[in-house]
Amino acid sequence: MTDHALLLVNLGSPASTQVADVRRYLNQFLMDPYVVDLPWPLRRLLVSLILVRRPAQSAHAYASIWWEQGSPLIVLSRRLQAAMQAHWTQGPVELAMRYGEPSLDSVLSRLAAQGIERVTLAPLYPQFADSTTTTVIEEARRVVRTRKLPIRFSILQPFFDQPEYLDALADSARPYLQQGFDHLLLSFHGLPERHIRKLVKGIDPQHDLRSASSEGVSDEVLAVCYRSQCLRTAEAFAARMGLRPGQWSVSFQSRLGKDKWIEPYTETRLDELGRQGVKKLLVMCPAFVADCIETLEEIGDRGLEQFQAAGGERLELVPCLNDHPSWVEALNQLCARAPQQI
């Protein structure tokens, strides 16, 4: 074993379903300026208002999907970590969460204490956003800088259009699609429009955030436009699976607050599809690589109820990649060629 570690990083989870733990987690998450991009005083005021009622509501939601072993996201991420260790032969494979535990601070400090000087940092987000990819990278750099750790990073880049990822996505979903369905909804995590606007304004101020296709989007815009990357993932997946136009669609879930978020909204599509006579609906969530509250509770429970209330009969949630063997192999290949950051 050598001194080149692989560090997998996902979003995180409360330590338990207790309201106090959920409040602590939500405070850390929402106070991240990459998540709520307001000046500190306004962010503190907004988050404080959110934390009046949201922790109890979220605690109830977490309790409905919590496993005996703990948070599904943490359990599944640990399984991926264990599976990756058999493939990553250059050193140890570690797991950290951007919010909650295990923290980036604790894991990077432990690696440095073990004499590790090179780390491939792998934010487990296929599509790029400041609120996911950037905040992981910046927090890792902050830890190294403030702790004066002798660590150099290679960083896994967004892999929304990489063949290995798309092939793994197809392999994991194929058994569910082969069982037959009326429609496939690819539901990605949502994002406030302004998060994208501020990134593309210097490249293409007129970039269309209503387009139904990623066709014609320049490489420069595609590199920073989360919505276009989601569309590109969906289009490439549909092509791999031989899906016909009209047999699938894209939506965006998990809105928070009153800001304008990217469309179409998942809750709107669930109503539309139910009213249009779709009886068996498959839903995939390709912005997530591990099942979590947004997939298991938001789609698997609340989404099912909404779809059935609109006239649908059966909603089947296609599991995320989790620790699927094809994904383990794909992730190893993607991380192995991650560029070193100077």
Binding residues: 189, 294
| pTM as predicted | 0.96
**Is the confidence at residue 342, as pLDDT, over 60?**
no
Q: How confident is the model at residue 257 (pLDDT cuts 50, 70, 90)?
A: confident
- Mean per-residue pLDDT of the chain: 96
Selection from 249, 292, 279, 260 nearest residue 132 by Cα? 292
Give the model confidence (pLDDT) of 157-192 as tens digits. Answer: 999 999 999 999 999 999 999 999 999 999 999 999
What would the CATH number be for the domain defined by 163-317?
Answer: 3.40.50.1400
Measured from the Cβ of residue 36, the count of other Cβ atoms closer than 10 Å reads 20
Query: Can you name the residues that pair with 250 across neighbouring β-strands?
Result: 186
Selection from 150, 171, 88, 98 nearest residue 338 by Cα? 88
What is the distance between the alpha carbons of residues 270 and 246, in angstroms, rounded to a whole number?
15
Domain map of the chain by residue range? 4-159+325-337, 163-317
Binding residues for Fe(2+): 189, 294
Query: Can 4-159+325-337 and 163-317 be said to share one CATH topology?
Result: yes
- Which of the following CATH numbers is that of domain 4-159+325-337: 3.40.50.720, 3.40.50.2020, 3.40.50.1400, 3.40.1190.20? 3.40.50.1400
> Going by C-beta distance under 8 Å and a sequence separation of 6 or more, which residues neighbour residue 74?
13, 97
Tokens encoding 313: 């009969």
pLDDT value for 2: 64
**Is the confidence at residue 90, as pLDDT, over 50?**
yes
